[in-house]
C-alpha cells in the first residue's frame, strides 16, 4: 500500500506540474492577446484620425515608432483600405501573399500561427469599414523562471512531508513487528491447548485474546443459526417443489380441458354445419345470424307496442316458411292499449327458431300465431298452433326441456329457443297430438305501461267473396278501422263502388270465372289487395298495385293503409305540440271550422311517439317543452323517413333573427308567433292546404 501511495503521490505531483505549466502558458497567451488588442486599437484609432486628415506620411512615421518602442517584438504593421490594398506598411507580411487566406473580419481577431501571431483590427471611417490594420508579432517567450520557482514550491513541500511520513511509518512498523512476535507466541500456545501465558491485565494482548474468544463463540452460534436457516430453506424448497409439481399437473389438466373444449367447439361447428345443411335454404341466413346474436348475449330490454312490432316482424316470419305453408296472426285487441318492456330481440329470435322448426318438420300444417296480453299478471302469452300434421314427438319433448338446459354455445334452433326462454324467464308448454297438430305456448313476463295506441282508419270497405277470407283475417281488418263496410256481391260492388274511403280487395285464384272483373277492379283500386301466398305472383304480374299475401295482421294493414289516411275524408292531419293547455284549447277553437284532424301533444316524447305511430301532414311545434326542446324534437323527426318532407312550423312567443336561423337549421319550415290570430291563421292554413291532384 505504501508503494501505491507513493506512486499516487508522484502522479499527483506530475499532474500538478503539467497543470501549472498549462495554466501559466494560457495566462501568458491571454496577457499577450490583451496587449496586442490594446496596441491594435490604439494604432487603428490613430490611423483613422490620420486618414481623415489625409496624413499618410504621418502614418508611416507612427507605425515605425510603434514598432521600435513596442514592449514585444513586432514583425510588421500593415494598413489596408476597404479593397484590401496596402496603404502603409513597415514590412510587407508574407501572409498577405496567400490569396486563399482571409485574415480580415468585421471585428478584432487574433490568429495564433505556427511562427507568428497576427492581429486584425477593422478601421471605421464615417460609420463604415474604411480599412484594416494588421499587426504581426513573434510568439511571446515562456516564463521559465517563474514556472521553475512554482515547481520548486509545489514539489519541495510534498517531498518533505513524504520524508516525515516515511520516518514515522518506519517507527510504527518496528513496534508492530515486536507486538506481532509476542502475539505469535501467545497464539501458538493457545492453539496447542496449552495453558495461557501469564499476561498482565493491562497488556493489550490479554484484551485481544478475550475478544477472540468471544468472537469464536459468536461464530459458533452464527454457524448453528445458519445451519438452522439452511434446513428451513431446504424445507421451503421441498414445499415449493411440491407446489410446482401441483401447478404442472393443473397446467396439464387445463391443457386437457382446452383440448376437450377445442374438440367440443369443433363438434359444435360440425353440428352447426349439419344443422345449416338440414335447414331449408330460405332459413339458413337467419339461423346463422340468430346463432351469432345469442352467443353475444347482448339482449337488453326495449319498450315496444305489440301490434306495430308484430307488423314489422311478420314479413320475415312468412319468408321462413315453405311455399305451401301460411301463417295466420291473431292479436289481442287490448294489446294496443299498453306499452310493453321486455327483451324484444330474444323474443324475435325465439319466434324465428319456432318457425324454422315448423318449416322443416311441419309439412302441410296450417300455422296460427296467437298473441294474448294478460294485464292483470303482466304476462305476454304466445301460442303457435299447427293444425294437421304435428311435429315429431321427440322434437316436442326437446322443446319442452330446452329452457332447463344451460348451453354456452347453441348450435340448433331448439337450443336457440331454450336459451332465449332462459333470458326472458319464460315458461314453455308443448303439447303434441299425432295427426291432429301441435301447440307450443310461451309465457313471457313483461312490464306494462299505458300507450297512446295506433290511429285506425275512419272508414274502410272490404270486398271479399263468401268463404274467401277466414274469420281471423276479417277481425284483423275490423281492428284496422273504426267503421267497416263489407260487400260479398261482386255485381253490386262494381255498380256502386265508392271512392271516398280505402278498399281492401280480397282476390280469388287467378283461374276464377270472374278473374277479369277483379283485374279491372285491381287496376283502379284505391286501397290494398290481398291474395293467398301461392297466387300473389300471378296477380302481381297483372297489376301495378301491390298484392300482399294472406293473412295480414291489423298492424300490417294499418301500415299499408297509412299513406291513404289523409285522403279518406279529404282532411289534413295537424299535430299541435304545446305544454300549455290554454294555448291548446285556443288553437283548437280557432281551427274548429277548418277541414283538419287535430291531434295534441304536451311533451316532446309524446310527440315523437305519436309520429312513430301515424303520419301527420303539418306539425305546429312549441319551442319550450318540459322534457325536450322543440328544436331537438324537430331534429329527431327529420331522421324518420316519413317526416323528412312534412312541414314543421315553430310555435313561439318571440323569434329574433338568430333564433329563426336556429329553427330553420334544425329543419323547421316557418315560424308562427303566439298568440294565434286571423293574420297568422292565414299563414298556417297555407301550409295545411291539400296538395294538387294530378290531372286537375
DSSP assignment of 52-97 equals: HTT-HHHHHHHHHHHHHH-SS-EEEEEEEETT--EEEESS--GGGG
Q: Is residue 678 pLDDT above 70, yes or no? A: no
Query: Is 66 within the bounds of a domain?
Result: yes
User: In the beta sheet, which residues pair with residue 459?
Assistant: 483
Domain end among 511, 533, 565: 565
Query: Is 473 within the bounds of a domain?
Result: yes
* Placement of cell 512498523 in the chain: 173
Query: Is 419 within the bounds of a domain?
Result: yes
Q: What is the CATH number of the domain that holds 584?
A: 3.40.50.2300
Nearest alpha-carbon partner for 39 in 102, 115, 121: 121
Query: Is 368 within the bounds of a domain?
Result: yes
- Looking at the fold, whether 355 and 499 belong to one and the same domain comes out as no
Name every residue whose Cβ is closer than 8 Å to that of residue 10 and which is 6 or more positions away in sequence. none
By residue range, what is the domain housing residue 369?
A: 279-450
- Looking at the fold, whether 306 and 440 belong to one and the same domain comes out as yes
Helix, coil or strand: residue 444: strand
- Most confident range (mean pLDDT) of 209-223, 469-483, 504-518 is 504-518
Confidence of residue 567 (pLDDT cuts 50, 70, 90): very low
Least trusted range by pLDDT, from 295-304, 387-396, 447-456: 447-456
Confidence of residue 690 (pLDDT cuts 50, 70, 90): very low
Sheet architecture: strand order including 366-374: 327-330, 366-374, 379-387, 437-445, 427-433
Summarize the confidence of residues 200-219 as an average pLDDT.
Answer: 71
- Looking at the fold, whether 513 and 586 belong to one and the same domain comes out as no
Query: Is 672 within the bounds of a domain?
Result: yes
Q: What is the pLDDT of residue 693?
A: 31
Number of domains in the chain: 4
Q: What is the CATH number of the domain that holds 58?
A: 3.30.450.20
Q: Is residue 574 pLDDT above 70, yes or no? A: yes
Share of the chain above pLDDT 90, in %: 5
Q: Is residue 198 pLDDT above 60, yes or no? A: no
pLDDT tens string 620-636:
999 889 998 999 999 99
Domain end among 450, 481, 498: 450
- Looking at the fold, whether 6 and 75 belong to one and the same domain comes out as yes
Q: What is the pLDDT of residue 95?
A: 66
- Looking at the fold, whether 126 and 30 belong to one and the same domain comes out as yes
pLDDT tens string 527-551:
888 888 788 888 888 777 778 888 7
Summarize the confidence of residues 97-104 as an average pLDDT.
Answer: 62
Q: What is the pLDDT of residue 687?
A: 81
DSSP code for 142: P
Confidence of residue 442 (pLDDT cuts 50, 70, 90): very high
- Looking at the fold, whether 404 and 324 belong to one and the same domain comes out as yes
Residue 424: exposure state from Cβ atoms within 10 A (0-12, 13-18, ≥19)? buried
Q: What is the CATH number of the domain that holds 402?
A: 3.30.565.10
The mean predicted confidence, pLDDT, of the chain is 77
Domain end among 565, 596, 614: 565
Locate 323 and state its grid cell.
311455399
Q: Is residue 205 pLDDT above 80, yes or no? A: no
**8 Å CB contact between 557 and 314:** no
- Most confident range (mean pLDDT) of 363-372, 470-479, 647-656 is 647-656
- The Cα–Cα gap between 279 and 360 comes to 7
- Looking at the fold, whether 669 and 601 belong to one and the same domain comes out as yes
Length of the chain: 696
- Looking at the fold, whether 315 and 365 belong to one and the same domain comes out as yes
* Cα distances (angstroms) measured from residue 39 to each of 55, 69, 92, 250, 264: 20, 11, 19, 93, 101
Q: What is the pLDDT of residue 147?
A: 67
The residue ranking higher by pLDDT, 41 or 231, is: 231
Name every residue whose Cβ is closer than 8 Å to that of residue 598 and which is 6 or more positions away in sequence. 574, 576, 587, 588, 591
The residue ranking higher by pLDDT, 282 or 658, is: 658
pLDDT tens string 356-384:
888 877 665 678 888 888 877 889 999 98
Q: What is the pLDDT of residue 98?
A: 63
pLDDT tens string 145-154:
666 777 777 6
- The Cα–Cα gap between 139 and 134 comes to 16
Confidence of residue 695 (pLDDT cuts 50, 70, 90): very low
Query: Is 308 within the bounds of a domain?
Result: yes
- Looking at the fold, whether 524 and 378 belong to one and the same domain comes out as no
Q: What is the pLDDT of residue 564?
A: 61
Q: Which of 306-340 are b and which e, b meaning 16 or more Cβ less than 10 Å from the residue's Cβ? A: bbbbbbebbeebbebbbeebbbbbbbbeebbbbbb
Q: What is the CA radius of gyration of the chain?
A: 56
Q: Where are the beta strands (DSSP E) in 179-243?
A: none
Helix, coil or strand: residue 141: coil
- Looking at the fold, whether 65 and 92 belong to one and the same domain comes out as yes
Q: What is the pLDDT of residue 56?
A: 66
pLDDT tens string 54-96:
666 677 777 777 777 776 777 778 777 777 777 777 776 666 6
Confidence of residue 176 (pLDDT cuts 50, 70, 90): confident
- The Cα–Cα gap between 559 and 311 comes to 8
Query: Is 78 within the bounds of a domain?
Result: yes
* Placement of cell 331454450 in the chain: 418
Q: Is residue 392 pLDDT above 50, yes or no? A: yes
- Looking at the fold, whether 367 and 466 belong to one and the same domain comes out as no
Query: Is 181 within the bounds of a domain?
Result: no
Least trusted range by pLDDT, from 266-280, 493-507, 672-686: 266-280
Summarize the confidence of residues 493-502 as an average pLDDT.
Answer: 56
- Looking at the fold, whether 335 and 444 belong to one and the same domain comes out as yes
The residue ranking higher by pLDDT, 497 or 157, is: 157
Nearest alpha-carbon partner for 403 in 385, 386, 423, 384: 423
Amino acid at each position: 500500500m505504501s508503494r501505491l501511495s507513493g506512486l499516487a503521490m508522484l502522479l499527483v505531483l506530475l499532474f500538478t506540474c503539467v497543470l501549472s505549466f498549462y495554466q501559466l502558458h494560457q495566462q501568458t497567451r491571454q496577457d499577450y492577446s490583451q496587449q496586442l488588442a490594446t496596441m491594435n486599437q490604439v494604432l487603428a484609432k490613430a490611423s483613422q484620425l490620420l486618414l481623415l486628415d489625409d496624413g499618410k506620411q504621418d502614418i508611416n512615421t507612427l507605425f515605425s515608432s510603434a514598432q521600435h518602442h513596442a514592449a514585444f517584438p513586432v514583425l510588421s504593421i500593415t494598413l489596408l483600405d476597404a479593397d484590401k490594398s496596402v496603404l502603409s506598411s513597415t514590412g510587407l507580411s508574407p501572409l498577405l501573399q496567400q490569396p486563399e487566406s482571409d485574415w480580415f473580419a468585421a471585428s478584432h481577431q487574433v490568429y495564433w500561427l505556427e511562427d507568428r501571431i497576427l492581429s486584425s483590427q477593422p478601421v471605421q471611417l464615417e460609420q463604415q469599414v474604411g480599412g484594416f490594420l494588421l499587426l504581426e508579432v513573434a510568439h511571446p517567450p515562456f516564463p521559465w523562471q517563474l514556472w521553475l520557482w512554482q515547481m520548486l514550491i509545489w514539489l519541495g513541500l510534498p517531498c518533505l512531508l513524504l520524508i516525515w511520513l516515511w520516518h514515522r511509518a518506519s517507527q510504527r512498523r518496528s513496534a508492530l513487528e515486536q507486538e506481532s512476535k509476542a502475539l505469535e507466541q501467545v497464539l501458538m500456545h493457545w492453539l496447542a491447548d496449552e495453558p495461557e501465558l501469564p499476561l498482565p491485565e493491562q497488556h493489550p494482548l490479554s484484551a485481544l485474546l478475550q475478544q477472540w474468544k468471544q468472537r469464536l463463540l459468536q461464530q459458533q452460534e452464527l454457524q448453528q443459526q445458519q445451519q438452522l436457516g439452511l434446513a428451513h430453506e431446504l424445507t421451503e424448497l421441498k414445499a415449493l417443489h411440491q407446489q410446482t409439481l401441483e401447478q404442472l399437473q393443473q397446467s396439464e389438466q387445463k391443457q386437457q380441458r382446452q383440448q376437450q373444449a377445442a374438440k367440443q367447439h369443433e363438434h359444435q361447428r360440425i353440428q352447426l354445419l349439419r344443422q345449416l345443411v338440414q335447414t331449408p335454404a330460405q332459413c339458413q341466413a337467419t339461423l346463422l345470424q340468430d346463432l351469432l346474436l345469442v352467443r353475444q348475449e347482448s339482449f337488453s330490454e326495449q319498450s315496444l307496442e305489440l301490434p306495430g312490432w308484430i307488423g314489422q316482424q311478420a314479413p320475415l316470419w312468412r319468408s321462413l316458411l315453405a311455399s305451401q305453408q301460411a301463417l295466420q296472426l291473431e292479436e289481442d285487441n287490448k294489446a294496443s292499449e299498453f306499452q310493453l318492456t321486455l327483451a324484444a330481440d330474444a323474443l324475435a329470435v325465439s319466434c324465428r327458431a319456432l318457425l324454422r322448426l315448423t318449416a322443416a318438420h311441419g309439412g302441410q300444417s296450417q300455422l296460427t300465431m296467437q298473441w294474448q296480453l294478460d294485464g292483470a299478471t303482466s304476462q305476454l302469452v304466445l301460442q303457435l298452433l299447427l293444425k294437421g300434421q304435428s311435429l315429431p314427438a321427440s322434437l316436442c319433448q326437446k322443446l319442452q326441456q330446452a329452457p332447463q338446459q344451460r348451453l354456452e354455445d347453441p348450435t340448433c334452433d331448439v337450443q336457440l329457443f331454450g336459451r332465449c326462454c332462459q333470458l326472458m324467464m319464460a315458461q314453455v308448454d308443448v303439447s303434441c297430438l299425432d295427426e291432429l297438430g301441435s301447440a307450443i305456448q310461451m309465457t313471457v313476463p313483461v312490464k306494462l305501461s299505458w300507450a297512446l295506441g295506433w290511429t285506425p282508419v275512419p272508414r274502410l270497405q272490404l270486398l271479399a267473396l263468401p268463404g274467401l277470407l277466414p274469420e281471423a283475417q276479417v277481425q284483423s281488418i275490423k281492428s284496422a278501422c273504426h267503421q267497416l263496410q263489407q260487400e260479398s256481391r261482386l255485381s253490386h260492388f262494381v255498380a256502386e263502388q265508392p271512392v271516398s274511403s280505402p278498399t281492401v280487395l280480397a282476390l280469388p285464384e287467378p283461374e276464377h270465372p270472374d278473374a277479369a272483373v277483379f283485374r279491372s277492379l285491381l287496376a283502379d283500386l284505391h286501397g290494398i289487395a290481398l291474395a293467398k301466398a301461392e297466387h300473389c305472383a300471378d296477380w302481381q304480374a297483372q297489376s301495378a298495385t301491390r298484392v300482399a299475401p294472406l293473412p295480414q295482421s291489423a298492424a300490417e294493414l294499418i301500415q299499408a293503409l297509412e299513406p291513404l289516411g289523409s285522403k279518406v275524408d279529404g282532411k289534413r292531419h295537424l299535430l299541435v305540440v304545446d305544454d300549455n293547455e290554454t294555448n291548446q284549447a285556443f288553437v283548437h277553437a280557432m281551427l274548429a271550422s277548418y277541414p283538419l284532424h287535430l291531434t295534441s301533444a304536451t311533451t316532446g316524447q309524446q310527440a315523437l311517439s305519436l309520429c312513430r305511430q301515424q303520419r301527420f301532414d303539418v306539425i305546429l311545434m312549441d319551442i319550450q317543452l318540459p322534457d325536450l326542446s322543440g328544436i331537438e324534437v324537430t331534429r329527431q323527426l327529420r331522421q324518420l323517413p316519413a317526416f323528412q318532407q312534412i312541414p314543421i312550423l315553430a310555435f313561439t312567443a318571440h323569434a329574433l333573427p338568430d333564433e329563426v336561423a336556429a329553427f330553420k337549421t334544425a329543419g323547421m319550415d316557418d315560424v308562427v308567433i303566439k298568440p294565434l290570430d286571423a293574420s297568422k291563421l292565414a299563414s298556417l292554413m297555407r301550409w295545411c292546404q291539400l296538395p294538387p291532384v294530378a290531372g286537375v
